[in-house]
Amino acid sequence: MAAARMEYPYDVTIVSPNAALDSYYAIDALRFGEINRAREVFHTAGGKGNNMARALVMLGGRALSIGILGGKSGEFISRELEREDIASEIIWTQGETRRTVTIPITTLQQSTGILEGGAAVGASVLQAFTDAVFAHALDAPFLTLIGSLPSDFPPNFYAELIGRLRAMSVRVALDTSGAVLRHAAFAAPHILKINLEEFNAIFAEASAGTTPNWQVIQQVADDLQAHGLDTLIITQGAHGAYVFSRAEVPFRVFTPLERWVCPAGSGDSFMAALLLGLVRGEPLRRAACFASAAATANIEHMVSGYITEEALARLLPKTVLEPLALEGST
């Protein structure tokens, strides 16, 4: 397996067209309508793709992050990627790259986010980005499509890419939401990983609550697999992740949290570790345990995708995998 891995320059190609400069302001308690002084601040290369790339590199993997950047925030992100040893292929655009703010509130163990949408980038940038995806499609055993799209990308952008990538036998992992997810899910990526809220918004009834409806989930998993999906993973924060794979009895994996700092980027960390485990030749169950431990370890540091070896080594042995008891439940 190690030999096979070395044939590729990267472990995962990460395709994420809506990068962001992510800022984190940690405060102990939030006072509405008043000045809140940050206890700690970080400004980072962000957006889901770069956060996933950070996790992958911190876990010892080789990531190629393909993105679109512009303006002062774009220059900052590009410098940060270099500093963090994250390889990138950047399409430059005229406009300023968006920014996001994450405010983890320690006393509440809740995180508040403010996100800019992502401006239009124009047809030539869309074309150059698409070309870059295909130029690097065979650089790694997995290619991830992750996050939202710039406002002028068509909502079927990922769906179209998946169709063409499948024809090249590229294994695609997908993590997105809303209309983009609706289009792409049935285009049959190899792996689809979304959170329960994102799943319910597209596949379940609008009234679906926070309790997973196993009947609906199993039905959707079967349906997606009939279209060519291999593995559906639905994450649900502290409850862990539910894994429906063709060759496995459905299972849940979870890791108890020991230190809350900031939960942002847990899904991206999960995806990074899962794919790295699979690339390293681990069976799905082991890769899922690795992913769960990495996702929970991410919560112990403010910056998304920041996973220390110490946290991972401590949390991996505490990770639990159990079959999902689906019958009789709703």
Ligand X SMILES: Nc1ncnc2c1ncn2[C@@H]1O[C@H](COP(=O)(O)OP(=O)(O)OP(=O)(O)O)[C@@H](O)[C@H]1O
- State the residues that interact with ligand X by CB under 6 A: 195, 235-238, 240-241, 255, 257, 263-268, 270, 292, 295-296, 299
Q: Which is nearer to Mg ion, 130 or 176 (CB)?
A: 176
What DSSP assignment string belongs to 149-217? --TTS-TTHHHHHHHHHHHTT--EEEE--HHHHHHHHTT--SEEEEEHHHHHHHHS-TT--SS--HHHH
Answer with the entry of ligand X, Mg ion, none that 213 interacts with (C-beta below 5 to 8 A by kind): none
Answer with the entry of Mg ion, ligand X, none that 311 interacts with (C-beta below 5 to 8 A by kind): none
Segment interacting with Mg ion, rule: CB under 5 A, options 7-15, 33-41, 159-167, 265-273: 265-273
CB of 150 to ligand X, least distance (A): 19
CB of 213 to ligand X, least distance (A): 17
Q: Choose, by CB under 5 A, the member of 17, 46, 74, 267 that binds Mg ion.
A: 267
Report phi then psi at 97, rounded to 5.
-65, 140
Contact between 305 and Mg ion by CB under 5 A: the answer reads: no
CB of 293 to Mg ion, least distance (A): 17
Q: Which of 95, 102, 97 is closest to 81 using CA atoms?
A: 97
Q: Rounded to an integer, what distance in angstroms lies between the CA atom of residue 238 and that of residue 145?
A: 24
Q: Which is nearer to ligand X, 16 or 296 (CB)?
A: 296
| 179-218 per-residue burial string, b: 16 or more CB within 10 A, e: under 16 | ebbbbbbebbbbbbbbbbebbbbebbeeebeeebbbebbe
Q: The tokens of 213 are what?
A: 């409806």
Q: Which is nearer to ligand X, 55 or 159 (CB)?
A: 55
Q: Which amino acid is at 181?
A: L
CB of 263 to ligand X, least distance (A): 5
Residue 84, exposed/middle/buried by CB under 10 A (0-12, 13-18, 19+)? middle
Answer with the entry of ligand X, Mg ion, none that 225 interacts with (C-beta below 5 to 8 A by kind): none
CB of 50 to Mg ion, least distance (A): 14
Please give the residue ranges that form the binding site for Mg ion (CB under 5 A). Answer: 267
